[in-house]
Structure 1
Amino acid sequence: MSTNNSLQMKTTQCITCDICDQPTPINYGVLKADWDPNTDDKKDKYEVRLCKSCFLGTLSYLKNQKKLNHLFDENFDFNQLDNLGLS
């Protein structure tokens, strides 16, 4: 099974945020997933366009999920969450 997941920023003319429905004229984020089918004939493909505010809110949620997943892991460095997603 091949998986392609990404959370990235793009530059373009103007799009509408899929979450808050506000126009975002310059930059926007994309939450994207493309999974091969397991038992169904159709492919699961997702693409959600996000304004900066919704993008940062989503990133904050993902950081919190990672924090919860490692809450009792003594070897996990929680400082690395500050750089999650930065390239």
Structure 2
Amino acid sequence: AEMFDLSFDARIIDTPGIRGFGVVDMDEDEVGDYFPEFFALKGECKFNNCLHIQEPKCAVKEALENDEVAYSRYRSYLQILEGEDESYRE
């Protein structure tokens, strides 16, 4: 195993045989807070609990349509919410 120090006062460990890790103790309405471009738009959504999926007047979806948010980032966000990348767990 190898440990790497990251610039923002964190460490990551590379261990042979481990394919990934999970995020725990995070509610689905908090996931967007970890995407800076989504967090910046959070107050502009019509609903305070907007998940940026199908809610009307969602600032993140509007930014996505206007190419102000990268589709790859939005896809990653959805994958976390849907558990497809195994990073989001309740």
Assess same fold via TM > 0.5. no
Which has the larger strand fraction?
1
Which TM-score tier does this pair reach, normalised by the shorter chain? under 0.3
TM-score by length of 2: 0.24
Tell which has more relative contact order, 1 or 2 (C-alpha 8 A, sep 6+): 2
TM-score by length of 1: 0.24
